[in-house]
Amino acid sequence: MLSYGVCVKSCPTNDTSEPVECKATKYTAGNSEYSNCVQYVGRSGLNPGVAFRYNTKSILGNFCIPDGADYMDSSTVEAFKKAFFDSVYG
């Protein structure tokens, strides 16, 4: 569940003018699609790609999850909590 996550100073937004402060992981540090804690979809060669940014919200006081009515509802939050407690505390 947390294989591709990174530690961030605060939950990011979809505003590309706001920097994302994170601790790079092996996955992001060695991946050419990532720059300054942001993934760039379609990046290759001279194509810079498009920043993949979305609004997030804090859950359980320590994790950021997507925040959007079209893909988030209470069942999604509960599924995240269950997966977290099953994998981290289980």
pTM of the model: 0.67
Residues for the chain: how many in total? 90
The CA distance from 50 to 1, in Å, is 25
pLDDT at 26: 84
pLDDT at 78: 79
Backbone angles phi and psi of 63, in degrees to 5: -125, 145
For the record, the structure tokens of 11 come out as 């939950």
Q: What is the pLDDT along the chain (90 residues), one digit of tens a residue?
A: 456 778 889 999 989 899 999 988 888 888 888 888 888 988 888 888 898 888 888 887 778 888 876 666 777 777 777 877 777 665
The CA distance from 24 to 8, in Å, is 9
For the record, the structure tokens of 62 come out as 């320590």
DSSP 47: B
For the chain, what are the domain ranges? 7-89
pLDDT at 70: 63
